[in-house]
Structures are given as C-alpha cells and as structure tokens.
Amino acid sequence: MEHFTLIQFIYMLKGVGWTLILSLISFVLGSAGGFGVMLARISRVGWLRFATSLFIQTIQGIPLLVLLFIVYFGVGVFGLNVEPLAAASIALMIYVSAFLGEIWRGSVQSIEKTQWEASECLGLSRWQSLRLVIIPQAVRLSLPATVGFLVQVIKSTSLASVVGFVELTRAGQIINNSLFQPFLVFTLVGVLYFALCYPLSIWSRAMERKLNVGNR
C-alpha cells in the first residue's frame, strides 16, 4: 500500500475549496429563493400561500440525495447535459430555499402584531412596514438559526459526490481508491469538515446567547 503524501493532502484541500464554493453558491442563491418563499408564505393571496406551502412540504419530504438525482438525471430527459457543479448547485439551492423560507417566515410572524399596527399608524404601506420595521427585527431572531443551517448545508455538499462533483468527500474517495487506507483518509476528511463547521457552530451559539433569542 502507498503512503499518504503531501500531494494527496493538497488534493484534499482543493476538495475543501470546492466544498466552500458549492456551499457559497447554493447558500447565496438559496437565500434569494428563501426570501421569495418567505414573502409568498406571508402574502395575503391565499393560492400563493398554498402553493409555497406545498413546495416547502414537498422539498422537505424528499431526501436531498433523491433531489440531486432528479436534477442531474431528470434534465437529461430534455436532451440537456448538466455539469455536476450546476446540478449540485441547483439541487442545493432548491433545498436551501425551502428551509430558509420557513425559518424566516417563522421569524417574521413571531414579531408582535402591534409592530404592524404601529407601522400602519405611521402611514407606512405593507411593504414599507415589512422592509423598515419587521425584517430588521426578524433578522435578529433568525440569525442563529440561519448560521446553524449553513453548517448543515456545508455537510450536505458531501452528497454531491454521487453525481461526480469532486468536493471534499469525493476527493477522499479518489485518494482512498489509490491508498486503500479508508480509516486514515476519511478520518482526515472528517477533521476537515469539523474545521469548516465548528467555528460556525460556535458563532451560532454565541449569537444566540448575545441576542437572547431563547428567552423571548
């Protein structure tokens, strides 16, 4: 058996880089989608609330792995070839938008109704009330949960390996295929994931204590 070398470790670090890129793309796009989902969920239009509720329940009820397969192989039915990065980004974007939309919807609706009433007394429209009064307060409530979910997104990128995208987990698999030392390789993979996620977990807990979210 070969020995683990610096070159292989550098290859693994490149996988870390692609993990971060995929996480950033999916989280940014998913945040934009999640904001739209949140707006639709608190809309006064009944059919729009129902449609987004159905979307959220559907996405939350489908394993992310299955969603990846649907995007990667399903688009091929229409004669289109999707790159692994694009397929993984789309699937994760849909996944993130559904969960963040619900997190943010809960934060917005937890704001006391008196805040809406006070905004109306000031002559603000519903959109102005939401943008200037409600959302700034909701951000404060949702920030710890949002950062905590980002940790889950980073770990979920490991599933992108099933569609051929070479992120950290896939890089570990490739290295292990040449070394045949799974304990060593995947222990290092786990350590690198921990190094990525632990600071975010600490930050999330620190914000929760600072903002006193749990005592509201």
Domain span at residue 125 reads 6-211
**Percentage of the residues of the chain whose pLDDT score is greater than 70:** 96
**Whether pLDDT at 214 is above 60:** no
Q: Where are the alpha helices (DSSP H) in 78-181?
A: 84-109, 113-121, 126-129, 135-156, 168-179
CATH code, domain with 113: 1.10.3720.10
Average pLDDT on 94-102 reads 95
**Per residue in 63-85, pLDDT tens?**
999 999 999 888 767 777 788 89
**Whether pLDDT at 23 is above 90:** yes
User: Does residue 1 fall inside a structural domain?
Assistant: no
**Whether pLDDT at 129 is above 90:** no
Decide: 116 and 42 in contact? Cβ < 8 Å: no
Could you identify the residue written with the tokens 């939309």? 101
Rounded CA-CA distance 41/51 in Å is: 9
Backbone phi, psi, residue 24, to 5°: -65, -45
pLDDT band at 204 (very low <50, low <70, confident <90, very high): confident
Average pLDDT on 118-142 reads 85
**Whether pLDDT at 213 is above 60:** no
Q: How many domains does the chain have?
A: 1
User: Does residue 216 fall inside a structural domain?
Assistant: no
Span between the terminal Cα atoms of the chain, in Å: 57
User: Does residue 12 fall inside a structural domain?
Assistant: yes
**Whether pLDDT at 158 is above 90:** yes
Rounded CA-CA distance 53/20 in Å is: 30
